[in-house]
Amino acid sequence: MDMKKASWLLQNKGFKMTKRREDILAFFAKEDKYQTAKDLYEYMETTYPGISFDTVYRNLHLYHDLGILESTDLNAEKHFRMNCGDHHHHHFICNTCGKTKKINLCPMDEVEKLLTKYMIDGHKFEVYGLCPTCQIA
């Protein structure tokens, strides 16, 4: 999702597009990787001294609830990234830097064959490891 679409979605759902919310979108739009609430807090603190963790968490959860951000649990911590919902795919996620790579393959084709009498509501498939850059470091 790009910033323009995310901004439209926020406003369409009745939320004001403030400079702070715009800066949060810019933070996630600039890099294709998962980031923590702490990462966002540190980024926002430089422009908004005294910003609270509550404000950061509220906005993260708002963006997640609206589908602007997607989340995953990485190293026992919630991480967020801009939703890339252009088409159905999954991700490889680097355990060290959080960078992602799309996987344009879905194991659900095989799973559905095994669960013929079950009603599946959704799924999430993620592969974790080290990206080529982090393998060298």
pLDDT in tens, 96-125: 888 888 888 888 888 988 998 999 888 888
**Angle, to 10 degrees, between the axis of helix 19-29 and the axis of helix 3-12?**
140
As a whole number, the mean pLDDT across the chain is 90
User: What confidence category does residue 126 fall into, taking pLDDT thresholds of 50, 70 and 90?
Assistant: confident
Q: Both tokens of residue 49?
A: 């001294």
Residue tagged 């404000």 (tokens): 55
**Do 110 and 96 form a contact (C-beta atoms < 8 A)?**
no
With beta carbons less than 8 A apart as the criterion, state whether 73 and 66 touch.
no
Span 20-42, average pLDDT: 92
Taking alpha carbons only, the member of 106, 105, 101, 89 closest to residue 132 is: 101
Residue 137 has pLDDT above 80, yes or no: no
Q: What is the pLDDT of residue 86?
A: 66
